[in-house]
Chains A and B, each alone.
Chain A
Amino acid sequence: MTPEMTPVATPFFFYLLSGLAIIGGVLVITRRNAVHSALALIVTLLAVSGLYLMLYAPFVAGVQIIVYAGGIMVLFLFVIMLVNIERTVKERQFNRIWPAGVLAAAALLGLFVSVYVKGKTLLSDPVTGKPLWPDPTISLPDSSNTQQIGVMLYGNYMFAFEIASLLLLVAILGAVIMAKKRI
């Protein structure tokens, strides 16, 4: 990486954005009102898109803002308005077996932590002695990120791209048929 490309205050922005993302996530799963959850989720999505920018992925960051924050969250808010019933705010928010759910999630977190700790120390490459997760020092040609992703989408990933468009078509049809009163 050339010196003039070195970003400023990277740790500060990383901790700021990841803190925002995690606080937003906590609010999503704890708020009573679904609208508040949706707004917290928007904060999380924007923070994660900032993290994408820090990872030199401007195209994914743009897609995140446009598709997630602009499209999917509007859909969520519309559905919340359609099915908003007053009594859901007043009644129990967590199901009866929530301790089991939290326990399972804690076990999953323990699994992640153990994998990361082992990956940092034990699973280093025995030949070169490098850690399994090296520092991100390989520079990406960030000036033409979108162009390169486009070339890859229409090159290597042509078939997957077409399947994805078919999936979207099926999802449109499915959503319309599901939400229609009489077909």
Chain B
Amino acid sequence: MAEITTLHYLVVAAALFVLGVIGVLTRRNVVIVLMSIELILNAVNLNLVAFSRMWGNLHGQVFSVFIVVDAAAEAAVGLGILIAFFRNKETINVDEIDLLKW
């Protein structure tokens, strides 16, 4: 088999990113939408680490550590909002979250 290049990693990351986008745009369950966002962030991380390998420096890896921090913060706040919402409306479907809709 041929040598694995940066492009191979970019293709895998693009596939994961598109899967995450499909999950965000089509699922109704908020928890699964948040998991799809994690998929998207993972795809970006994979790109950053692949580029870091390609250029031979560590800036991409440091960036990916920051993105992991961001994902943790996002998951904590998002799930907190989800719990607060579930307590009020007894549902976790995205299309029933329309309190701000006029």
- The residues of A that contact B39 with a CB separation of less than 8 Å are 25, 28-29, 41, 44
Closest partner residue, chain B, to A26 (CB atom): B19
Question: Looking at chain A, what size class is its interface with the partner chain?
Answer: 35 or more
Asked whether any CB of chain B lies closer than 8 Å to the CB of A138, the reply is: yes
- The residues of A that contact B68 with a CB separation of less than 8 Å are 60, 63-64, 67-68
Given contacts A26-B19, A79-B79, A152-B62, is CB(A12)–CB(B1) below 8 Å? Answer: yes
CA distance A164 to B67 in the complex (A): 10
A-B CB contacts (within 8 Å), total count = 251
CA distance A91 to B72 in the complex (A): 30
- The residues of A that contact B82 with a CB separation of less than 8 Å are 79, 83
For window 62-95 of A, CB contacts with B under 8 Å fall at 63-64, 67-68, 71-72, 75-76, 79-80, 82-83, 85, 88, 91-95
Contacting pair A60 B53 (CB below 8 A): no
Closest partner residue, chain B, to A82 (CB atom): B83
Given contacts A29-B22, A83-B92, A135-B3, is CB(A116)–CB(B11) below 8 Å? Answer: yes
A38 to chain B, nearest CB (A): 7
The 3 closest A-B pairs by CB, nearest first: A101-B25, A138-B56, A178-B80
